[in-house]
Amino acid sequence: MYDLARLREEFPVLSTCIYLDSASTSQTPHRAVAAMCAYFYEYAANHGRGSHHLARKTTEEYERTREVLGNFLGVDPGHLVFTRNATDAINLVAHGTCWEPGDEVITTALEHHANFLPWMAQKARGVVVKVLPQRRGMLDPADLQEALSPRTRLVAVTHVTNVLGTVQPVREIAGIAHDAGASVLLDAAQSVGHMPLDVRGFDFVALPGHKGLLGPQGTGALYAADYSALSVSCHGGGIVEDVSLDGFSLLPPPARFEPGTPNIPGVIGLGAAIRLVEELGVGEIHRHETRLGVQVHEGLSAIAGVAVYSPRGSPVVSFNLEGMDPHGCATDLDRRQGICVRSGLHCAHPLASSLHPAGTVRASMGCYTTPDEVATFVETVREIAGAR
């Protein structure tokens, strides 16, 4: 096991609470904050514009993160577009695809709204949206086989659900979709940085910077294996080669998809954070979080009146206390021990409401979570269950 005590020194806030909401957003390590401070205090300027030394240094550091992320994922950095978050990455594909009326998108009943609403919104452009069913938090590739048609352009699917932590058979899904001539968008919001992820084999992958990669909020990226199907949906400065009064020509990707002044400090902080993830090793992080997932599952399952919905070992654990509103339970956990968990429908109404009309309480572990914290959490749930 890696050195947890040393790792936690990177996250001062963790001495003030028990943070079990990493599926929503991660805490940011000291080194990422320091990199952002260095940007502001030492060389802040705009990216890609201007030849003065501050602009050159800013551009160098911003582009370094693209290299770091490319290296981390094992892909050419030129295939990575920085975005505000995973939602933005998915919308870049939804709005950047030239849809023809009758084109089909297949998504699923497991999705976070970020990978559901952008497709539903395309219905207004004549796109047919098909939704694959889920059973016990899992997709069946046979359902995809049945849903595919010669008009299917894209299959948009999550890797790991944010409600249950179930891992989907996405390689098989991609194979089936590709055989039918459809592209595949993978929502890797809950997998990148948490478990080994090979983005090759997918056409698009949505990557938040602020979850498993430990970067600051307001960062993310889109991996695009091929940009040819994507047109620019947001225009402005920083993306053009030439402009005249009659028209314009665009820079090649990825620059053409990053209009305006980007989140420069955030991207620079993200680069520093990814280096920490690399030092820890994604395999080690996965083993650590899985062990904690087992501990939570076993602990909660042993308490009378607790329904655990997630599979054993998932570091995202949804549960409910019989007869208690999930928000009430979350508030009580915070009041008693400063435990931060998420409650409700988790921006995934179709899946979460299928478990309980009011949703669930969700505890999600990160690379910095300790077994002691998990033990305190389980004990506090036991106390709340006993006090009802």
Q: Decide: is 197 part of the binding site for ligand PLP (CB under 6 A).
A: no
Give the residue with the Cβ less far from ligand PLP, 176 or 189: 189
Q: Decide: is 165 part of the binding site for ligand PLP (CB under 6 A).
A: no
Give the residue with the Cβ less far from ligand PLP, 181 or 196: 196
Q: Decide: is 203 part of the binding site for ligand PLP (CB under 6 A).
A: no
Of 212, 220, 315, 326, the one binding ligand PLP by CB under 6 A = 220
CA-based nearest residue to 156, from 80, 66, 86, 219: 86
Q: Which two tokens stand for residue 148?
A: 């595919």
Which residues within the stretch 86-105 sit at the binding site for ligand PLP (CB under 6 A)? Answer: 86-87
Instruction: Tell the smallest beta-carbon distance from residue 194 to ligand PLP (Å).
Output: 11
Q: Is 347 a catalytic residue?
A: yes
How far apart, in whole angstroms, are the C-alpha atoms of residue 115 and residue 22? 19
Q: At what angle do helices 282-301 and 371-387 cross, to 10 degrees?
A: 20
Are 362 and 163 a contacting pair, CB within 8 Å?
yes
How far apart, in whole angstroms, are the C-alpha atoms of residue 307 and residue 368? 26
Catalytic residue, candidates 98, 234, 347, 367: 347
One symbol per residue from 39 to 78: x for binding ligand PLP (CB under 6 A), - otherwise; what is it? Answer: ----------------------------------------
Burial of 323 (0-12, 13-18, 19+ CB in 10 A): exposed
Q: Given the rule CB under 6 A, which of 83-91, 285-293, 328-336, 350-358 is the region that contacts ligand PLP?
A: 83-91
Q: Decide: is 114 part of the binding site for ligand PLP (CB under 6 A).
A: yes
Q: Decide: is 333 part of the binding site for ligand PLP (CB under 6 A).
A: no
DSSP H helical ranges for 302-356: 326-337, 349-355
Are 157 and 107 a contacting pair, CB within 8 Å?
yes
Q: Given the rule CB under 6 A, which of 84-92, 125-133, 264-272, 293-301 is the region that contacts ligand PLP?
A: 84-92
Q: How many CB atoms lie within 10 A of CB 316?
A: 27
Phi/psi of residue 190, each to 5°?
A: -100, 5
Q: Decide: is 162 part of the binding site for ligand PLP (CB under 6 A).
A: yes
CA angle 115, 271, 252 (to 5 degrees): 65
Give the residue with the Cβ less far from ligand PLP, 104 or 111: 111
End-to-end CA distance of the chain: 38
Give the residue with the Cβ less far from ligand PLP, 134 or 158: 158
Q: Given the rule CB under 6 A, which of 5-13, 74-82, 111-119, 283-291 is the region that contacts ligand PLP?
A: 111-119
- Residue 24: alpha-carbon gap to chain centroid: 9
Q: Given the rule CB under 6 A, which of 80-88, 121-129, 174-182, 295-303 is the region that contacts ligand PLP?
A: 80-88
Which residues contribute to the site for ligand PLP (CB under 6 A)? 24, 85-87, 112, 114-115, 158, 162, 187, 189-190, 208, 220
Please give the positions annotated as active site. Answer: 347
